[in-house]
């Protein structure tokens, strides 16, 4: 039987990269041994990306697209794509050609060997500034220690997933979606291939520092409860210090003549330190509570404004 492949590409203000991206992806699509659908998800672009997608859909019936009513973020764009896929093997890649489409046959190869998830692991990041690389390096290693699931180092969303994995992902109701974490959570047979990450083909990085930070916080908070325990640990430590201090102070007061307890500086430091610890703890707590709040509200993950290439009933259901 000929397998069916689905490619998902999130697009946010990528007018400069789209033409080249399509050429390179099409070359790979033509080379695969089955039918391919290319699902482009327009994440509320403000440039001419959507016009380009419309055009592509006209010219190439294998191209379908979803368009969001506003910018909902990369992880949500990928999630929407996953909701609509019809293939047996689903491949996620970035629009900026940092994830080389030419690697797709290698991913497919592993899938045919029986793996349900084949993720691409970066061995090098070409020409990305250390401002991006260093925090990423630290974050992936921190996650590795703290997260409940084993999330492989230096992997992004570039991967191939079997239909079964995507069905599980689609059944997950959560709004705070850290896809590379959820993907690991599913389990089954997973393997990796290695690649060198190219620089962005054109245009500016769409993941601003703020967006990257929020993705990192999301990953950490949704996959680890260690930060919550931190305040307990610091609290216990502070209690021990308090007992030791109390004994010391009493001893000085009672048995040391002319005791050195002048105090102002010590008290100020203690007050500020403990105040800081408490505020940070409340902040950490807030990260969790805020996410609970979002989950409880149960709003839809995204709002679509336009859909093309999907059967009528599917379109109506989701729009």
Angle at 116 between CA 125 and CA 101, to 5 degrees: 40
Q: How far is CA 273 from CA 232, 262, 267, 269, 276, in A?
A: 16, 19, 10, 6, 5
Contact status: 96 vs Mg ion (CB under 5 A): yes
Q: What is the DSSP letter of 102?
A: G
77 binds, among ligand UDP, Mg ion, none (CB under 5 to 8 A by kind): ligand UDP
Residues 38, 77, 89, 186: which binds ligand UDP (CB under 6 A)? 77
Contact status: 43 vs Mg ion (CB under 5 A): no
Q: Is 263 left (phi over 0), alpha (psi -120 to 50) or beta?
A: left
Q: Are strands 63-68 and 89-92 parallel, antiparallel or unpaired?
A: unpaired
In the complex, what is the shortest distance from the CB of residue 31 to Mg ion, in angstroms, rounded to a whole number? Answer: 24
115 binds, among ligand UDP, Mg ion, none (CB under 5 to 8 A by kind): none
In angstroms, the CA 215 to CA 280 distance is 20
In angstroms, the CA 100 to CA 197 distance is 8
In the complex, what is the shortest distance from the CB of residue 156 to Mg ion, in angstroms, rounded to a whole number? Answer: 9
71 binds, among Mg ion, ligand UDP, none (CB under 5 to 8 A by kind): ligand UDP
CB-wise, 79 or 116, nearer to ligand UDP? 79
In the complex, what is the shortest distance from the CB of residue 96 to Mg ion, in angstroms, rounded to a whole number? Answer: 4
Contact status: 13 vs Mg ion (CB under 5 A): no
Residues 65, 96, 103, 162: which binds ligand UDP (CB under 6 A)? 96
In the complex, what is the shortest distance from the CB of residue 17 to ligand UDP, in angstroms, rounded to a whole number? Answer: 8
- Of 13-32, binders to ligand UDP (CB under 6 A) are 14
Contact status: 137 vs ligand UDP (CB under 6 A): no
CB-wise, 115 or 120, nearer to ligand UDP? 120
Burial of 86 (0-12, 13-18, 19+ CB in 10 A): middle
In angstroms, the CA 71 to CA 55 distance is 21
In angstroms, the CA 64 to CA 38 distance is 6
Residues 6, 98, 110, 222: which binds Mg ion (CB under 5 A)? 98
- Of 42-61, binders to ligand UDP (CB under 6 A) are 43
- Helices 264-297 and 209-223: crossing angle in degrees, nearest 10, is 80
Contact status: 14 vs Mg ion (CB under 5 A): no
Contact status, residue 96 vs residue 200, Cβ threshold 8 Å: yes
Give the alpha-carbon dihedral of 216, 204, 106, 113, to 10 degrees. 30
Three-state SS at 264:
helix
Q: How far is CA 12 from CA 57, 203, 264, in A?
A: 17, 11, 56
CB-wise, 187 or 199, nearer to Mg ion? 199
Residues 18, 63, 73, 104: which binds ligand UDP (CB under 6 A)? 73
- Of 169-228, binders to Mg ion (CB under 5 A) are 200
Size of the site for ligand UDP (CB under 6 A): 17
Q: Which distant-in-sequence residues (6+ apart) come within 8 Å of 213 by Cβ?
A: none
Residues 25, 95, 147, 220: which binds ligand UDP (CB under 6 A)? 95
In the complex, what is the shortest distance from the CB of residue 285 to Mg ion, in angstroms, rounded to a whole number? Answer: 33
Residues 8, 11, 38, 151: which binds ligand UDP (CB under 6 A)? 11
Residues that bind ligand UDP (CB under 6 A): 10-12, 14, 43, 71, 73-74, 77, 94-96, 98, 200, 205-207
């Amino acid at each position: 039987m000929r397998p069916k492949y689905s490619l998902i590409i999130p697009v946010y203000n990528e007018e400069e990269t789209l033409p080249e991206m399509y050429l390179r992806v099409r070359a790979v699509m033509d080379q695969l041994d089955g039918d391919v659908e290319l699902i482009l998800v327009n994440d509320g672009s403000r440039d001419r990306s959507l016009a380009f997608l419309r055009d592509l859909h006209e010219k190439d019936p294998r191209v379908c697209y979803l368009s969001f009513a506003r910018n909902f973020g990369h992880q949500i764009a990928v999630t929407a794509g996953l909701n609509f896929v019809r293939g047996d093997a689903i491949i996620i890649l970035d629009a900026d050609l940092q994830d080389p489409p030419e690697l797709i046959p290698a991913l497919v190869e592993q899938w045919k060997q029986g793996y349900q998830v084949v993720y691409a692991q970066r061995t090098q990041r070409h020409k990305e500034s250390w401002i991006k690389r260093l925090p990423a390096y630290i974050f992936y290693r921190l996650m590795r220690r703290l997260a409940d699931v084993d999330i492989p180092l230096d992997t992004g969303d570039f991967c191939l997933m079997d239909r079964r994995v995507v069905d599980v992902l689609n059944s997950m109701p959560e709004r705070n979606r850290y896809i590379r974490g959820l993907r690991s959570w599913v389990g089954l047979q997973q393997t990796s291939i290695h690649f060198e990450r190219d620089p962005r083909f054109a245009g500016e990085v769409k993941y601003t520092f703020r967006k990257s930070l929020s993705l990192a916080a999301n990953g950490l908070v949704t996959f680890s409860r260690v930060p919550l325990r931190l305040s307990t640990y610091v609290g216990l430590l502070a209690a021990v210090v308090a007992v030791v201090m109390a004994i010391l102070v009493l001893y000085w007061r009672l048995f040391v003549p002319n005791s050195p307890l002048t105090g102002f500086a010590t008290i100020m430091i203690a007050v500020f330190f403990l105040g800081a610890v408490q505020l940070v703890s409340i902040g950490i707590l807030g990260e969790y509570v805020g996410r609970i709040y979002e989950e409880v509200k149960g709003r839809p993950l995204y709002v679509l404004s336009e859909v093309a290439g999907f059967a009528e009933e599917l379109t109506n259901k989701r729009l």
